[in-house]
Amino acid sequence: MQPLFPATLLVLVPLLPLVGAICTVLLGRRLGPRAHLPAVAGIAGAAAVALILLLTTYAEVGHGGAHSEPVRPVEMITTLWQWASVEGTPAGEGLTSGAQQGFSIPVTLRLDPLTATLLVIITGVGLLVAIYSIGYLHDDPGYPRFFALVSMFVFSMSMLVAASNFLLVYVFWEAVGACSYLLIGFWYSKPEAARAAKKAFLVNRVGDFGLAIATFLLWMTYGTLNFHDTPNSAIEGILSQTRLADPGGIVGGVIGTAICLLLLLAACGKSAQMPLHVWLPDAMEGPTPASALIHAATMVTAGIYLITRCAPLFVACPGALAMVSIVGATTALVAALIATVQNDLKRVLAYSTISQLGYMFASLGTGTMLGFTAAIFHLVTHAFFKALLFLGAGSVMHAMGGVIDMRRFGGLRKVMPITAATFLIGSLALSGVPPFAGFFSKDEILATLHAKAYPSAHAQEHGDLPVAAGADRSPLHLAAYSSDAHAATPAGAAVGLDSLNTPAVWQTLFWMSLVTAGLTAFYTFRAVFMTFTGPVRVPPEAGHHAHESPPVMTWPLIILAVPSVLAGWLLFSTDALAHFLSATPSLWAESVRHTATPLEFHWDLAIQGTLAAAIGIAVAAIGHLGRRSDLPQMERYLGPLEPLFANKFYFDQIYQALIVKPLEGLALLAALFDRSVIDGLVDGVARIPVALGSLVRNMQSGLLQRYALAGVMGVLAIVYALAWQLRG
Amino acid sequence: MTTSLETFLLIAPEIALVVAALVVFLAGAFANLQSGWPVAVAGIAIAMFLSGGTPDDGGTVTSGPVSIDGFSLGVRWLVLVLGGILALVQSGDTFRTATSRSGTALRWGTCEEAGTFLLLLAGLSLVGVANDLVLLFAGLELVSIPTYILLALKRIDARGQEASLKYFFLSLVASALFLYALVCLYGIGGSTSLAEISARLRSPDDRLAGMATVLLPVALGMAMSGAAFRLAAVPMHFYAPDVYEGTSPGNAALLSTLPKVAGIVVLLRLLALGTGGAFGMAGAQAAVAGPAATAYMTLFWQLAAILAGLTMTVGNVMALLQTNLRRLLACSSIAHAGYLLVGVATAAAADSALSGRLVPGTDTSWTSGLGGSSATLFYLATYVLATAGVFAALTYLGHRWPEWSATAGSRPPREEISTVDDLNGLSGTNPVAACSIALFLLSLAGIPPLPGFWGKLSLAITALEVDWNSSATWGSRRAAFLALAILLVINAAIAAAYYLRIIAAMYFRSTKRGVQADGGIAAGLAMLICMALLIVVTFQPRGLFAASSRAGRVISAPTGTLVAPQVVSP
């Protein structure tokens, strides 16, 4: 028996935005300037429901205090209907257990702490963005279309995090991609926007391909795609409590590593990690509210969600886990370096998003409880302050008549004080300055990496059970015996990747992250100083309305500024989020749970991180504080590195030369072949019946006698042939 | 063979049709009845009521020359439903010249038309229930003669008369050939009863074999030709384009459906002579089939297969070049006769191995247990539905105005819709008709998931199932049916070209000429009924599969062990 109350509410979260989207599509033109009403109402309803769900789930988990009693896993499964169902084959035909069991895709929603947290973020930020857009897009011809798409996106994204089945995850993974495509190309008549949308879609397809193959492999390996246990079925769900309670339940080895790497590829596509990060900066061609919602706060975190959800799978494959961290830390550093020389305010923020997502990946890759919760913690705080920064940038852009190049304006703190103040708060949070939100979450990530890089130090520090237990049953160890138990392939086959899991590697990653922290502070404050300090300069495009944005736009900024200041300290000091998330079945799994460490505030790391941020801000202040933003400042000190950063490490050019051009050549060849050879063949074949037809037509003389004669002769011929054949 | 009261009870629906026909004739002549069609529809409804529910499984009731089994009941229902639709089409299909725009002047024939049409239906239904050569032939003639009259009544211009005369003379030739075939069968069986002929044909008597080598090719060749004329199959197909073009759309609807049902029913009844399925044979009688029966079946499938291959190809390649709509549809109907013959050939090739799969009552999946005859009947039903629908739509559309501007003098007379170009831009002027014509044509082309696709699929699958377990060596039966299935698919591809041309004309070309839609509401209703049935079968083909499977199983009932064909020199 499932309690009716949360089940119905859970359905409402995606349903209300969907209804809103449909209403907007149907009534959009009739509503005219009020076309935002259904979408805003739908998302607001969903946000309220999501909040109730969060509180319900929180009450269910209970407040653990000082880990007085072990956390129970909390999840609620609601199966709405069977989407597809194929009966199984009788056993004993040499098929996998899955084929014998048949194949069914239930449309199942789940509610657990992870989902509840993300639902609140999605609907909450979605609501603020939707309200903000009322002002931002007030006279755009595509006004109703925008709200329909945002509403549709909120629906798809909520379904993505609420789905309890890999196939549904795939479906909505694609759906959010489609919404993102449509929103990037919102101003489709602008060639750059159309191109950026296409690029985003195609690069994402590479990741989606990974998810598709991973789904196939998962089905082959586990015989089901459900996260949860299916009633009346012997097969345990992949991420169900029964399987996760069993230490050997998850398949490691080559297959496990392959699945994890493919999932990582998918996550890289959606979360814009190297080498698939190239689409996100270009995606800034879309409307700024869409960038804030989709390309900063929610959709790009789908990769983080996917890996967190699949945490037990990754923990069983330490090689893949190390890859996650390596990809994340590298992306974080590279994106931060690129961000230092960008002059487009939105692009600075875009690279910063890539960089911060890289942080989260680095944290996930540690494979410890702290790593996963820290990543989600950072996801939450980042959603607030990055949405704030994007909306602030949008506010600037709105006031500047669409100009976003930081060299063309300056000193705006006098023109738009609210935007300036909130943007500063967001920047402080992003830079990791205490006590703003970003400081705490970033500190946790650094602590996680530090623990992985210098395990002995931490072991001494704690000196007791948890880490000792972790060392005793290291993930590597786990993978070895789980693969012995389940996979036919030897565990040693994945050793190539597993060898990455050494302290030296982790130490490198830790220091990379620390450097990135400094760079983050630098580029953030470079943008702040260039935009808001110095002499007031306004581009001609702004005309006369270079003024503060209307209240409908500034209020979301103010609302978002509050959690950007407070969320970090609140969630950290109470340890509420980590405790809450650890009741998620995926994180409750035996292999993850044993890595849990008690809450600890690392003064040394905090000081290191703050120092890095302070250095970054100081350097930015030296270069840009109070100066005219159109003069080159820091860039001239970079020397030969400047073109490397400015050209984004030449990723686009390399892809163009290595992938796009050869494919275009191949396509050209194929087209030529199709037009000349295939079409020629087909046309030639098509001429045969016509020629036959004109031959037959000659017999249609219209003369009765000839018809009769031909008929009778035909009969005689047949009779004769038959008689002849019968005689032998 | 005794005729009793029971015999008349068994053919009560046919009698009802005849009575209704008499009522129409008399009322038209003496009671000044304006239109005979309402009475005709009522008569068909009464006949439907009298024929009761669906056919029972397996039971055969024989009385005198009449035998009621699943097959004849299936045929009767097909005829009555089709008859109802065609009656609606025919009622709107009056020949109107430009001078009599209202058309009232020439509506005098309506009672005669309706009565003749009812007689035609009665004849066709009798063909289904006939258990005797004489009744079979009488039924066939009761189909042919009303057809001549209808052809002659509808159009009184030169082309109409030419068409009806052509049909008349060639039909006579075909009837003569068919009668000759019946004589040969009588010679083999020594009786006019089909059951007795079958029993004799199947008896393991070696003396028969000698006679069979002489008589069987003649009998089968002639019978097949007689049926081929009704099916419009090679070598008796020549008349179809000329006659369809010359007559009215309503008559074309009739010609392209009812005679084809007759042809298929006759062929399957004659096929049952070899299998013995329709004659309630049981026990020792059913267990063995003699060499004559074996030779009969072999000749049957070979003949049907050759004609099927030729007919499909000839019909389709001819249709490619047609610009006149009714000529095009005539050629298309030739092609469909070819597809139907594929099913007949498959049914004739069904041996004990295949029939063994036909376990009554257990075939929940339609692919298993659908023999050749069932597939043929299914295809026949989907074909007549779509074809009647197209002609109903053409009847409904009627005429259109030629291009004309006010400055060019007086308005020229209306033109009948006759060429493909006349349908240009129909989607704009009459979207419902355009949509339904497109659906009918797509079904005829065999585009999934329309019924025509299910039909072609089951024909191809059953053809491929012949000798499934043996290898397809050159000259083997499996190779022949493999080739036939491939030819069917190729032909379906060719056919798509000309069907799509019509659809393209309706949807992708524009016109300034309006369509009259003066063919009457009844024809439009018939069109909509056809479309509704088509859509039902599209989404739930299982019902029609089950019905045709029940009817077809009677023909291809388990045949016992067929004795290997022996070559006996006379």
pLDDT tens-place string over residues A60-70: 777 655 555 56
Q: Mean pLDDT throughout B429-456?
A: 91
A589 domain-assigned: yes
How many Å lie between the alpha carbon of B56 and the closest alpha carbon of chain A?
32
Q: How far apart are CA A119 and CA A117, in angstroms?
A: 6
Q: How far apart are CA B102 and CA B96, in angstroms?
A: 8
Confidence of residue A240 (pLDDT cuts 50, 70, 90): confident
Q: Which of B214, B235, B567 sits opposite A710 (nearest CB)?
A: B235
A661 domain-assigned: no
Q: How far apart are CA B168 and CA B153, in angstroms?
A: 13
Helix (H, G, I), strand (E, B) or coil at A104: strand
pLDDT in tens, A640-688: 777 777 777 888 888 888 888 888 899 999 999 888 888 888 888 888 8
Confidence of residue A43 (pLDDT cuts 50, 70, 90): very high
Asked whether the beta carbons of A272 and A349 are under 8 A apart, the reply is no
- What pLDDT is recorded for position A477? 40
- What pLDDT is recorded for position B376? 92
B113 domain-assigned: no
- What pLDDT is recorded for position B277? 67
- What pLDDT is recorded for position A460? 52
Closest chain A CA to residue B165 = A704
B59 domain-assigned: no
**Residue A697: domain span:** 675-727
Q: Which of B339, B177, B189 is nearest to B276 (CA)?
A: B189
pLDDT in tens, B204-220: 776 776 777 778 888 88
Q: Does A685 lie in the same domain as A616?
A: no
At B375, which amino acid appears?
A
Q: Note whether B569 contacts A712, CB cutoff 8 Å.
A: no
Contacts of B516 (CB under 8 A, 6+ apart): B397, B398, B399, B400, B401, B414
Asked whether the beta carbons of B357 and B369 are under 8 A apart, the reply is yes
Q: Which residue has the higher pLDDT, B528 or B351?
A: B528
- What pLDDT is recorded for position B18? 95
Q: How far apart are CA A691 and CA A654, in angstroms?
A: 53
Q: Note whether B169 contacts A710, CB cutoff 8 Å.
A: no
- The chain-wide mean pLDDT, for chain A, equals 81
Q: Does A432 lie in the same domain as A577?
A: yes
Q: How far apart are CA B262 and CA B253, in angstroms?
A: 15
SS3 of A541-585: HHCCCCCCCCHHHHHHHHHHHHHHHHHHHHHHHHCHHHHHHCCCH
Q: How far apart are CA A492 and CA A499, in angstroms?
A: 11
- What pLDDT is recorded for position B135? 93
The reply to whether A714 touches chain B by the CB within 8 Å rule is yes
Q: Mean pLDDT throughout A23-49?
A: 86
Helix (H, G, I), strand (E, B) or coil at B288: strand
Asked whether the beta carbons of B415 and B399 are under 8 A apart, the reply is yes
Phi, psi for residue A490 in degrees, rounded to 5? -70, 150
Query: For residue B324, what are the β-bridge partners?
Result: B419
Percent pLDDT > 70 in chain B is 85
Closest chain A CA to residue B176 = A712
Q: Which of B318, B364, B365 to mutate to test the interface with A (most CBs of A within 10 A)?
A: B318
Q: Which residue has the higher pLDDT, A59 or A22?
A: A22
Q: Does A149 lie in the same domain as A208?
A: yes
Asked whether the beta carbons of B277 and B554 are under 8 A apart, the reply is yes
A658 domain-assigned: no
Q: Does A296 lie in the same domain as A187?
A: yes
Q: Is the ipTM of this complex over 0.90?
A: no
Whether B363 has a pLDDT exceeding 60, the answer reads no
Asked whether the beta carbons of A328 and A608 are under 8 A apart, the reply is no
Q: Does A494 lie in the same domain as A356?
A: yes
Q: How far apart are CA A302 and CA A299, in angstroms?
A: 5
Q: How far apart are CA A396 and CA A351, in angstroms?
A: 18
Whether B416 has a pLDDT exceeding 50, the answer reads yes
Other C-beta atoms lying within 10 Å of the C-beta of residue A393? 27
pLDDT in tens, B67-115: 888 888 889 999 999 999 999 998 877 655 434 444 444 455 678 889 9
Q: Mean pLDDT throughout A365-389?
A: 88
Confidence of residue B167 (pLDDT cuts 50, 70, 90): very high
Confidence of residue B525 (pLDDT cuts 50, 70, 90): very high
Residue with tokens 């609606």: B88
Q: Does A267 lie in the same domain as A343?
A: yes
- What pLDDT is recorded for position A367? 83
Other C-beta atoms lying within 10 Å of the C-beta of residue B13? 26
Asked whether the beta carbons of B392 and B510 are under 8 A apart, the reply is no
**Residue B323: domain span:** 176-403+414-562
Which residue blocks in A32-67 are alpha helix, DSSP H?
36-61
How many Å lie between the alpha carbon of B328 and the closest alpha carbon of chain A?
12
A593 domain-assigned: yes
* Domain total in chain B: 1
Contacts of A329 (CB under 8 A, 6+ apart): A358, A361, A362, A449, A508, A509, A512, A513, A516
Q: Which of A682, A685, A688, A696 to mutate to test the interface with B (most CBs of B within 10 A)?
A: A696
A192 token code pair:
């750059």
Sort out which chain A residues have CB atoms less than 8 A from B177's CB and list them.
712, 715
B45 HSE (CA, 13 A, CB side): 7
* Domain total in chain A: 2
Asked whether the beta carbons of B208 and B292 are under 8 A apart, the reply is yes
Whether B361 has a pLDDT exceeding 60, the answer reads no
Query: For residue B561, what are the β-bridge partners?
Result: B288
B483 domain-assigned: yes
Confidence of residue A634 (pLDDT cuts 50, 70, 90): low
Cα dihedral A186, A191, A194, A196 sign: negative
A657 domain-assigned: no
Q: Which of B173, B222, B320 sits opposite A708 (nearest CB)?
A: B173
A559 token code pair:
């609302």
Helix (H) or strand (E) segment spanning residue A106 = strand A103-111
- What pLDDT is recorded for position B483? 92
- What pLDDT is recorded for position B559? 44
The reply to whether A710 touches chain B by the CB within 8 Å rule is yes
Q: Which of A582, A368, A374 is nearest to A466 (CA)?
A: A368
B14 domain-assigned: no
B553 token code pair:
């199983």
Q: Does A83 lie in the same domain as A124?
A: yes
Helix (H) or strand (E) segment spanning residue B561 = strand B561-562
B305 token code pair:
């297969």
Query: For residue B399, what are the β-bridge partners?
Result: B416
Sort out which chain B residues have CB atoms less than 8 A from A695's CB and list them.
317
Asked whether the beta carbons of B259 and B240 are under 8 A apart, the reply is no
Mind giving me the DSSP string for A320-332? HHHHHHHHHHHHH
Q: Mean pLDDT throughout B24-40?
A: 85
Q: How far apart are CA A600 and CA A397, in angstroms?
A: 42
Angle, CA of B494, B498 and B504, to the nearest 5°: 130
Q: Which of A236, A241, A260 is nearest to A319 (CA)?
A: A260
pLDDT in tens, A504-520: 888 888 888 888 988 89
Q: Does A699 lie in the same domain as A591?
A: no
Helix (H, G, I), strand (E, B) or coil at A492: helix
Q: How far apart are CA A518 and CA A611, in angstroms?
A: 8
For chain A, report the end-to-end CA distance as a whole number of angstroms: 78
Kind of pairing between the strands at B561-562 and A76-86: unpaired
Which residues of chain B have a Cβ shorter than 8 Å from any chain A Cβ?
165-166, 169-170, 173-174, 177, 213-214, 216-218, 220-222, 224-225, 229, 234-236, 238-239, 241-242, 295, 299, 302-303, 306-307, 313-314, 316-321, 494, 497, 567, 569
Helix (H) or strand (E) segment spanning residue A108 = strand A103-111
- What pLDDT is recorded for position B100? 45
Q: Which residue has the higher pLDDT, B195 or B334?
A: B334
B2 domain-assigned: no
Helix (H) or strand (E) segment spanning residue A76 = strand A76-86
B181 domain-assigned: yes
Query: For residue A12, what are the β-bridge partners?
Result: none
Cis peptide before B449 (omega within 30 of 0): yes
Q: How far apart are CA B388 and CA B258, in angstroms?
A: 10
Q: Does A547 lie in the same domain as A625?
A: yes
Asked whether the beta carbons of A561 and A426 are under 8 A apart, the reply is yes
Whether B441 has a pLDDT exceeding 80, the answer reads yes
Taking each helix axis from N to C terminus, what angle separates B206-231 and B325-349, rounded to the nearest 10 degrees?
160
pLDDT in tens, A194-212: 888 888 898 888 889 999 9
Confidence of residue B355 (pLDDT cuts 50, 70, 90): very low
Whether A616 has a pLDDT exceeding 70, the answer reads yes
Asked whether the beta carbons of B386 and B443 are under 8 A apart, the reply is yes
Q: Does A640 lie in the same domain as A680?
A: no
A664 domain-assigned: no
Q: Note whether B317 contacts A714, CB cutoff 8 Å.
A: no
Q: How far apart are CA A382 and CA A304, in angstroms?
A: 12
Q: Does A690 lie in the same domain as A575?
A: no
A654 domain-assigned: no
A377 burial (CB, 10 Å; 0-12 / 13-18 / 19+) is buried
Whether A529 has a pLDDT exceeding 90, the answer reads no
Among A631, A646, A661, the domain boundary falls at A646
B448 domain-assigned: yes
Q: Which of A427, A441, A366, A365 is nearest to A392 (CA)?
A: A427
Confidence of residue A3 (pLDDT cuts 50, 70, 90): low
Q: Which of A265, A46, A128 is nearest to A561 (CA)?
A: A128
The dihedral over CA atoms of A698, A701, A704, A708, expressed in degrees to the nearest 10, equals -10
Q: Does A583 lie in the same domain as A696?
A: no
Q: Which residue has the higher pLDDT, A454 or B48?
A: B48
Kind of pairing between the strands at B399-400 and B61-63: unpaired
Q: Which residue has the higher pLDDT, B564 or A413?
A: A413
Ramachandran area for residue B446 (φ above 0: left; ψ -120 to 50: alpha; else beta)? left
pLDDT in tens, A602-611: 778 888 888 8
Whether B126 has a pLDDT exceeding 90, the answer reads yes
Q: Which of A212, A210, A382, A391 is nearest to A289 (CA)?
A: A391
Among A597, A628, A646, the domain boundary falls at A646
Q: How far apart are CA A124 and CA A567, in angstroms?
A: 14
Exposure letters A238-255 (e unless 16+ CB within 10 A, then b): bbbbebbeebbbbbbbbb
Sort out which chain A residues have CB atoms less than 8 A from B243's CB and list them.
none
Q: Which of B174, B239, B320 sits opposite A693 (nearest CB)?
A: B320
Q: What pTM was computed for the model? A: 0.64
Q: Mean pLDDT throughout B313-325?
A: 90
Asked whether the beta carbons of A350 and A279 are under 8 A apart, the reply is no
B379 domain-assigned: yes
How many Å lie between the alpha carbon of A686 and the closest alpha carbon of chain B?
8
Angle, CA of B95, B97 and B102, to the nearest 5°: 85
A653 domain-assigned: no
The reply to whether A683 touches chain B by the CB within 8 Å rule is no
Q: How far apart are CA A320 and CA A268, in angstroms?
A: 13
Helix (H) or strand (E) segment spanning residue A409 = none
Whether B563 has a pLDDT exceeding 60, the answer reads no
Confidence of residue B58 (pLDDT cuts 50, 70, 90): low
Whether A490 has a pLDDT exceeding 50, the answer reads no
